[in-house]
Amino acid sequence: MFVEIVKSKIHRVTVTEANLNYIGSITIDEDLMDAANLIANEKVFIVNNNNGERFDTYVIKGERGSGVICLNGAAARKVQPGDIIIIMAYAMMDFEEAKQFKPAIAFPDTKTNKLLK
């Protein structure tokens, strides 16, 4: 049996931009991607703490150290700069493997989007 579990999470990060005139996706600072074990083009699920929106998209690598969190394309209509969001990715794995798996979770400072030490 396989189960779907949380693989990666960026917990409570601040949206810095919303760019409607882009093809789609979420641009994430590469430091945050590394901390949460996310890769470019990976599917992610977004939860907006400010308005309750929930949607999925894919990751685009943002400039390392920039703190950028930019929702692009149609997803830009679901957020406003300054909103606090949670970004999650899931993985399918064997039930027994899933019992031992530990997700990569990043906790950024919501003012700067830099990783907390």
The predicted-structure confidence for 46-86, as pLDDT tens digits, reads as follows 999 999 999 999 999 999 999 999 999 999 999 999 999 99
Select which of 22, 58, 66, 90 is catalytic.
Answer: 58
| DSSP-assigned beta bridge partners for residue 90 | 6
**Active site (annotated) includes residue 22:** no
Q: How far apart are CA 74 and CA 68, in angstroms?
A: 18
Instruction: Give catalytic status of residue 58 as yes or no.
Output: yes
- Give the CATH class of 2-106: mainly beta
Query: Does position 41 have pLDDT exceeding 90, yes or no?
Result: yes
Q: How many residues does the chain have?
A: 117
**Predicted model pTM:** 0.96
